[in-house]
Amino acid sequence: MKLMEEQLWPLLKQHLQQTLTYWSVFFSFGLCVSFLGPTILDLRCQTGATVEQITWVFFSQQFFLLVGSCVGGLFKKTLLASLLALFFCTLMISLLFAAIPFCHHIVPLFVTMAITGGAMGVIDTIANYQLVNLYQKNSAVFLQSLHFFIGLGALISPLVADPFLTDDNCTLETNRTPNYHHVQMNTSEHEAARLDQISTHGVPIEGEAIGSVSYAFWIMALINLPVPVAVFTLMYQKRLLPCFRKGPGLLEGRSGGSSLDAAPGSVFSCCSPANLRGLPPSFFLIHALGGAILFLTDGIMGSYAGFVYTYAVSPPLLMGHKAAGCLDSIFWASITIGRLGFIFMSYRFTAPRLLTFSLVGAILVQFMLMIFYTSWVFLFIGTCVLGLCISSMFPSMLAFTEDILDYKGCATTVLVTSASTGEMLLQVVFGSVIQREGSFTFLLCCTTASVTALCCFLLFLYVQHLHRSSRAG
């Protein structure tokens, strides 16, 4: 607590408004992360889409999140560009939430989710970069707090949607002219047609939609609306609006400057030969291994949240739909609580210790889940513990890597892009394996990825030692 009082608290007070603004934009990010899962039934009813078609909606969000992460660095050279990008992205999220109820076909929903994913990617890169730039060697605690707000938004989103979700059938058949004789003679035909329709779409979709999930999206749009207002207020306070004197750039006016002064913009400029000339091999290995670790761990997080419901309702568990639906909320709640706890742990323990604890804990709990694979109770317990263990991986890894590389500027963009790529690709890979081999392979895939991530981290520590030794020499 002494470190908090003597060093971190004065830093927070110095950058309080900026820090709160970046935390709030990550709350917007969190709202977008988890609303698709619980509302997918109603969105399928609304659009008349099949399971295969609605899967592309998930893919579009994840793919354009990756694209947004790659190009987000283009906006981070000045404070004005960064805040303008954050303002338009957070405002766009509110507008898109409000527009989703009007998407009555799969194509408009696909486009809406693609734009949402792009906005999320830009937010991801800029907010992480700004906090690392503000606090540098003290950034670990503030990054933990930043990612706590993702979990908070991801937890609130399903809670808002839950009262408005449809239990089984969100349509009301129209054109009904009762003909009881006809019904009696054709009961079996009608039942067969109904079952065929349910097997294709998940729910009957013919007739007038009677679901009320639209209210959930409009409520989330209103909840998110203060976030662009907060960004706009920060621009006003920093005198960056056109009607005022142009404020300082991102790094101007700071004593002593920073190694980020010549920071490249996007992930593409990070890979340009001019920026890479003369650097030791360990510099590239640290970026590659750090990216690989987050590729795997963020992929595990996204895949577990996406497929734990499917695993729970499939043999051998055959859990009820309502009970299985709680697993996703429990997972995000444990991630949120874990990030809150790691805020305090991050100024008591070093990043390597926290990362080792997280990876080893995640592997152990996944082995236990495979051993007790028939237990409902242990699935709930394991989901909680896994969320607690894996919650700290991204902020701890980002702070540790930037510290090793003396805040050169590329690590944040590379790691954010790698994490987004993993979250997109591993869900596709795990989904195809589960569909081909069965639901039990879900746990096997996650465990394999966790063990691989631990091996990469041990190699990362060795390369980090070589890198620091070469610099000292």
Q: What is the pLDDT of residue 31?
A: 85
Q: What is the pLDDT of residue 228?
A: 94
Alpha carbon distance 459, 434 (integer Å): 30
Q: What is the pLDDT of residue 255?
A: 36
Stronger pLDDT, 212 or 268, i.e. the higher one: 212
Q: What is the pLDDT of residue 261?
A: 41
Alpha carbon distance 44, 63 (integer Å): 20
Stronger pLDDT, 388 or 79, i.e. the higher one: 388
pLDDT of 411 higher than 60: yes
Alpha carbon distance 189, 384 (integer Å): 46
pLDDT of 368 higher than 70: yes
Q: What is the pLDDT of residue 294?
A: 93
What does the pLDDT average to over 427-448?
A: 85
Alpha carbon distance 463, 163 (integer Å): 51
Q: Which CATH class is domain 15-166+213-241?
A: mainly alpha
Least confident of 48-52, 106-110, 354-358: 48-52
8 A C-beta contact, residue 229 and residue 182 = no
Q: How far is CA 45 from CA 215, 252, 450, 471, in A?
A: 15, 53, 36, 60
What residue ranges in 373-415 does DSSP mark as E strands?
A: none
What does the pLDDT average to over 217-239?
A: 90
Stronger pLDDT, 73 or 295, i.e. the higher one: 295
- Mean pLDDT, the chain, rounded, equals 78
Stronger pLDDT, 275 or 245, i.e. the higher one: 275
DSSP H helices in 162-280: 180-185, 187-201, 213-224, 226-237, 267-270, 273-276
Alpha carbon distance 385, 392 (integer Å): 12
Confidence of residue 172 (pLDDT cuts 50, 70, 90): very low
The domains spanning 15-166+213-241 and 279-472 adopt the same CATH topology: yes
8 A C-beta contact, residue 397 and residue 355 = yes
What does the pLDDT average to over 49-77?
A: 79
pLDDT digits (tens, 9 = 90+) for 9-41: 787 788 888 888 998 998 888 888 877 767 777
| CB-facing half-sphere around the CA of 151: CA atoms within 13 A | 27
pLDDT of 188 higher than 90: no
Q: Which of 82-86, 132-136, 174-178 is predicted most confidently?
A: 82-86
Q: What is the pLDDT of residue 115?
A: 93
pLDDT of 150 higher than 80: yes
Q: What is the pLDDT of residue 77?
A: 72
Closest CA to 126 of 184, 82, 67: 82
pLDDT of 51 higher than 70: no
- In this structure, which amino acid lies at residue 120? M
CATH topology for the 279-472 domain: Growth Hormone; Chain: A; (1.20.1250)
* Residues ≥6 apart with Cβ < 8 Å to 451: 363
pLDDT of 276 higher than 70: no
Per the document, the length of the chain is: 473
Q: What is the pLDDT of residue 169?
A: 52
Q: What is the pLDDT of residue 243?
A: 62
pTM score > 0.95 for this model? no
Q: How far is CA 452 from CA 174, 222, 293, 428, 456, in A?
A: 54, 42, 8, 18, 6
Least confident of 108-117, 142-151, 291-300: 142-151
Confidence of residue 356 (pLDDT cuts 50, 70, 90): very high
Domain ranges (residues) in the chain: 15-166+213-241, 279-472
